[in-house]
Amino acid sequence: MTAFRITTFQFTCQLIGVVVITLHLLASQVSAETNSPVVVPKLVQQAEQARIKAINKARPSAVSVFMPGGGGGGSGVLISPEGYALTNFHVTSPAGSYMKCGLSDGRVYDAVLVGLDPVGDLAMIKLLGRDDFPVATLGDSLKSKAGDECMVIGNPFLLATNLQPTVTYGILSGVGRYQYPSGTLLEYADCLQTDASINPGNSGGPLYSSQGDLLGIVGRGSFEKRGRVNVGVGYAISINQAKNFLGYLSSGRIVDHATLGATVTTDPDGGVVVSNILESSDAYRRGMRYNSEILELAGRPVSTANDVQNVLGTLPNGWRIPITFREEGKTIETLVRLPGVHRRDELLTKMASAMPPPPPVPDQPGDKPDNQEDQPQRRRRPAQRPDPNAPQPKAPKPESPKPQPHGPGPGGARKKPVKIPPQAMALIKNREGFANYYFNQQNQDRCFKSLQDQFPAGETWKLTGKTADGKDIKLLLSNEKCVVSLGDRSLELKAKSDFFDAVDTGNDAALLVALDSLRRLMLLGPEKFGETYYWGTMPLGGQRPLRDCMLGTSQEIEHRWLMHPETGALECIEAFADRDTDPAEAWLEYDNGKLTGLDLRFGVESKRKITELQIEFDAQTTSDAAPAKETAAANDGEDQ
């Protein structure tokens, strides 16, 4: 059906073209004989005006990326007025932390690396110099269909040295394509295929709909054994996948993709079944077994193994998603936490082996030593003579960063060695495991400030409330002791092992572990709490909007604090003792913006629910619990 639709569409386009050309020739002949004006059919005029309008809407957000020193380049697309833009991992990897970017307004901007997704071939960069950049309108790639018109705007063969990007037009030749990775990197899942011309240099650039909305990030083409020339088969990472990773990329981290902890195969009789599963996986803990039939993942029906990989390949490591499967005739709807494809060190090793060396830049007088933390690595090479015939970019306006000339393609010459300007260097901070720790620190500060607005830095917290069966419950948290009392029974955490065991065995004292992590975070701050960083955004209980997540490890337990993206209200604290067991989840419940309840959960079950919550901080008693900014329900709203 799809192939027939495309053939019919192409035939119709060709027929319309022949008719228009014939009418134009006839009109020209009549006009020459009668000296009367040519009349273009109204439908043709409307179609042409719509196409021009869409291009004019889209083109300002397209970015031409150039490596300092003429080391290559590519394309990108702006997604925020502050200058955040998306491109490919394989475009930014030769540049390191700094690059130059041009827009169709004729200006060149400094840009720095923000975050990397080497598995999905995505990267986020930030253009500097203004806070009102033109941005693309994000579309919905799941609504796209084969045969829809589309366009690609970018920098093929680095032709945009005059900062005017190239526009190519075509159709979506296919949707939901899967392109195998190189090892485990550069995987294109659920991607879009197009016949709009894509060539080297278009990488990282935008694929727009015929209305000028952003549908994807161009990344690869079927160039193998075809001499690196366009053959009408190009692929773009779906914008819906990019949306899932925006929070992770803005964290400044090097991020990983998700897997299920199980392998699947397409059943000859139809459907997708589990062919192998790890007993340590969350999917196994939720009841999935060998030969279970998977029906839905993250709200999307799946019927083949390719469908499963297309969904998983668009999701970040650590997300929790709804899943539906059938086991022994029983349909189970539950939530599953997705592990990563790689271990952390494994991903860094594979990424390093896949990256080319950074472009060599001679040392400059006054440069900081190469071993200084905030100075990207530099290498020496002989100076190159500038190419006098190389096209020159337009001179920017006075307030713009001065552009560097680039040759017409990779390896082009430059006039002088490139030095990272101070305004860009101030936004670059190296740290192992991060693409750019500067942006992680910014997000940490933002999240911690939000928590400070809700909870004081008190050494002693006392909480009282009622359990579901009407019993009194008391919790005492301090530097000296952590005790939970339920009726005439008490549990106290003394040694470090007690905290670990409380989470690992799933008892009531796990609520102490979660709450005490918050108390110590507020008292000590992120720097002294332990290894603390901003993780990104993720669903809470499998539901959107995506929550901000800050992560900290202390006493051999990993804690996650999840906050509503709009109100900043803390909604859940997760404590992980072992990856092979369920974490303790302390859900915070609000009433009219007041914290009034707690719910301790393991897996998908509630262990202990507390209502009528009252809190004392140190010696000061409050009639109500700590206020949140606003009520933040766990299951409302859309992805931000």
Q: Active-site positions? A: 90, 121, 203
Neighbouring-strand partners of residue 429: none
Distances in Å between the Cα of 169 and the Cα atoms of 60, 205, 232, 571, 609 are 17, 14, 11, 46, 58
d(CA 112, CA 583): 37
Name residue 388's amino acid: P
Which of 462, 468, 474 minimizes the C-alpha distance to 609?
A: 468
d(CA 229, CA 232): 9
Which of 12, 217, 225 minimizes the C-alpha distance to 117?
A: 217
H helix or E strand, kind and range, residue 195: none
3-state SS track over 542-596: CEEEEEEEEEEEECCEEEEEEECCCCCCEEEEEEECCCCCCCEEEEEEEECCEEE
Which of 201, 208, 202 minimizes the C-alpha distance to 239?
A: 208
Is the distance from CB of 266 to CB of 288 less than 8 angstroms? no
Helix (H/G/I), strand (E/B), else coil: 326 = strand
Which of 218, 10, 252, 285 minimizes the C-alpha distance to 114?
A: 252
Q: Which residues contact 492 (CB under 8 A, 6 or more apart)?
A: 481, 482, 483, 498, 509
Which of 451, 454, 449, 429 minimizes the C-alpha distance to 439?
A: 429
H helix or E strand, kind and range, residue 479: none
User: How many beta carbons lie within 10 A of that of residue 233, not counting itself?
Assistant: 17
Distances in Å between the Cα of 177 and the Cα atoms of 205, 295, 406, 530 are 19, 20, 35, 43
Helix (H/G/I), strand (E/B), else coil: 597 = strand
Is the distance from CB of 87 to CB of 127 less than 8 angstroms? no
Q: Which residues contact 461 (CB under 8 A, 6 or more apart)?
A: 475, 476, 477, 478, 515, 519, 615, 616, 617
Tokens (6 digits) for 586: 């302390």
- Start-to-end Cα distance in the chain: 35
